[in-house]
Amino acid sequence: MSAAVSAPSITVTHYTDPGCPWAYSASPALAALRWRYGRQLSWKLVTIGLTEDPQAYIDRGYTPVRQARGNLSFRRFGMPMAPTPRERVTATGRACRAIVATRLLAPELTNDVFRALQFTHFTTTELFDTDAGITAALDRVAGLDTTLIVGGLDDARVEAAYQEDRAQARSAAGGATEFQGKAAQTDGPVRFTAPSLVFTHSGGRSLEAGGFQPLEAYDVCIANLDVSLERQAPPEQAIDALRAFPSGLTTAEVAAIMALHLTDADADVAEGSLIDAVADGLATRTPLGDDALWLAV
């Protein structure tokens, strides 16, 4: 990517949680941002920690069946789903700690771990609030020492960093996210919902895009912070997108990256191009829920 050669100009603070279906559904837009601006954006993932105990969800009326059925409504965003009910409702705090542990011990793999936990939560019946479930998720991540991360989940440094994340995520009171009605107050302070993106320019200016937003909202924030950035055009072939994302992309993510200006993402066109890449020996297709994860060879 041409944008990848430039130094970061904007830091994107990404408030999120691997158990949130809205955060998962935003993946195509986030992939498109990474394609367009490359390393001109520096990403900082802050975990929200939606729940520490499954009882919090149970008290709100959630059941495994309700959660599985609820995920059906998110299929319209295109991310892989496998709506099979789990044996029980799960909390997200321990999975968030796995992300924080990775940020401390293998920071270059933080986003890969986040995505692996999302894929596990939305396409399997693993319980990602258990060490076994987290291990199953992290085993997806190439180059990660899963034992090191899981072994560090109860480390004091990890816990302190996680609590810092939770506090930062609960600082949305009075800001643009709350003003727009995209904040929440489920456990005391007003917090950012997942996904919330705060764009901060190296010169100090910041813009908030709180909660689930279309790609255009993120793009407008960036445009109003720095018009000197290089903005990479969509690729003509899916294989070009895959080569820029070594950990792989879903069909919807490739479609978002390939979408031309003022046109909707076309999953059929993207999938056709991906199939061509596999046929040519340039990519692989790994089934994932009701879709796939595609990787360049």
- Single-letter amino acid, residue 53: D
Closest to 158 (Cα-Cα) out of 223, 110, 121: 110
Instruction: Report the percent of the chain where pLDDT is more than 70.
Output: 98
Q: What is the pLDDT, as a whole number, of residue 84?
A: 94
Q: What is the pLDDT of residues 86-103, one digit of tens each?
A: 999 999 999 999 999 999
Over its C-alpha atoms, the chain yields an Rg (Å, rounded) of 18
Mean pLDDT, to the nearest integer, of 110-124? 98
Domain ranges of the chain: 2-225, 238-296
Largest CA-CA distance found in the chain, in angstroms, rounded: 54
DSSP string of 50-70, one letter each residue: --SSTHHHHHTT--HHHHHHH
What CATH topology corresponds to 2-225? Glutaredoxin (3.40.30)
The neighbour count for residue 268, using CB atoms within 10 Å, is 9
Give the per-residue pLDDT at 7. 72
pLDDT at position 40 over 90: yes
State how far the Cα of 1 lies from the Cα of 80, in Å rounded to an integer. Answer: 26
Q: Measured between alpha carbons, how far is 78 from 39 in angstroms, rounded to an integer?
A: 26
pLDDT tens readout for residues 55-80: 999 999 999 999 999 999 999 999 99
Give the pTM. 0.96
**Structure letter (DSSP) for residue 141:** S
Which CATH class for the 238-296 domain? mainly alpha
